[in-house]
Every structure is written in C-alpha cells, then in structure tokens.
Homo-oligomer: A and B are copies of this chain.
Amino acid sequence: MKKWKRSSRLVQMTWEFIQHPHRLFSLGFFSERYQAAKSSVSEDLAIIHDVFQNEGWGKLETVPGAAGGVRYIPGMNRLATQHLIHHLCQQLADPGRILPGGYLYLSDLLGDTTIVRKMGHTLASVFSNDGVDAVVTVETKGIPLAYATASHLGVPVAIVRRDSRITEGSVVTINTVSGSSKRLGSLSLSRRSLKEGARALIIDDFMKAGGTIRGMVDLLHEFRAEVVGVGVMADALVEDRLVQHYISLTTVTEVDAEKRKIQVVPGNILDRGGFQNG
C-alpha cells in the first residue's frame, strides 16, 4: 500500500469530514489508511481544525479514550450567520413574492441548493449539542431544508405526510386544525420511520401560528419521541402562537399586498449565544 503525502492526506481527510459530519473517525483508521504515524495524522487534524475554525465552518472535536477519535462538528460563527441572514432578508423582501391572500412565493429559495445547504448548516450548528437522533419535517416545501440540516447533523430524516400513503406501511395519524386558517387536516408518520424515544428536531420552511408544528409535536408524542428543538427558515408575526420555543432564521413582520411591500428582519437565531468564535 502506498504511503500518502501530507498534501494528499489533507485533501482526502477534508473530504471525509465534510461528507460525514458528526461521524467519529479513530486515529488508527487514518493512520492505517495513509500508512502514516499517528503523530503525523494528529498534525494533519490540527491543520484542518484551524482552517475550519478560521473560516467559521465548525471544528474537529477530539473524543479521548480507547473508543475515541475525532469528528467534524459543523458550526457557524456570528459573522457568517449574520451574512446569511442578511442575504435571506433581502431575498425574502422582494415584493414579487406576494401572492393572492398575502402568501409568499418561496419555492425559488427552497430550490436553491447552495442557500438551502447554508441554511441547513446554520440550523445544524444551533442544535449540534442536543443529541439529535432524527430530523422530522412535513411535506412538501420543508423537505429540502430538513435534509440539509440532517445531513450536517449526520442523522436521518422522517417525513410527516398530510395524507397517509400506502407506501408508508403502518402509520400513526392525528387530526389537526390549522392555527391561522382554522382548516382541518391530518398528519401521518410511518411507524418505522422513527425509533421510539428518539430525540427529534423539527424543521420546516415557514411558521405562522404554528398549527402544523404543534400538530407535529403532538404526533411525535405518540412515538414517545422527545422534541429537542424546532427550526424554521422564516416565521411571521402573529398574536396567538401555538409554539413558544423555536429558532427562526428570519421573521416576516409585514406583508402588505396593496402597497406591494414585505418587511423581513433577522429571526431570533441572532439573539442567542453559542456561536463559534472567529
């Protein structure tokens, strides 16, 4: 087996960490793979860690002990987060988004894989210490953001359906009332898609009164799952919110269809601490 140079090792390791956030790699794994001394691997890891930290991408975390190793924990520093949020606010405030009924067209943003990946990276950073086992979302528009978040947390996604489908097997269904429009509906989740007692993170694109997310919380209780957090791309200012604790990237404070004006401000994500230094 050929011996790897440091330069090649750095490229290879960077790839592995990016592709597998939160996965623990033992030093022995890298050392054997590259036919390199563990001390050399440790130096490689220090270089990667420094670049990740300086760029505000997260960190390499060392887990000591025989079963230990190193893993990449995606993080986001305050500056990079502010930059993303500012960009999102600008994009969302485009009056061309206003649809009949005061709804907003969001599919272009949610179809942009680069922005979605960054939003997912940011939300994953917020919840990276919460021991998330699975990300849960509801069809359809929240799915991309849920995947991006889950992929940065290294966990699977479970998709709640608005009507139960034959291809989901046995499901748990609850009936819901939409908080804003008082519309009746139902939410179903396949029994197999979530382990009992799982620590679940709920991700969605947009929250008004929060009726759908409230419904997801109730549905997850049926799985004895613990909801460790809720994250959304945008929330709207409403009086009677059904969900109290959540993280939003942006807040839509006003949609005036007549004046063709949308006002969007940074969400509560910037109010919290816990940002990576740098």
Q: Which residues of A line the B interface, CB within 8 A?
A: 6-8, 10-12, 14-15, 18-20, 47-48, 50-52, 55, 57, 99-101, 103-108, 111-114, 116-117, 139-141, 143-144, 147-148, 150-151, 154-159, 161, 166-169, 190, 192-193
Contact = CB atoms under 8 A, between A and B. Distances in A.
A99 B7 contact: no
Given A112-B156, A113-B150, A105 B167 contact: yes
Copy number of this protein in the oligomer?
2
A117 B147 CA distance: 10
B158 A193 contact: no
Contact of A193 (B18, B48, B107, B161): B107
Contacts of A147: 113, 116, 143-144, 147-148
Given A140-B140, A192-B105, A10 B12 contact: no
Nearest to A161: B140
A50 B7 CA distance: 11
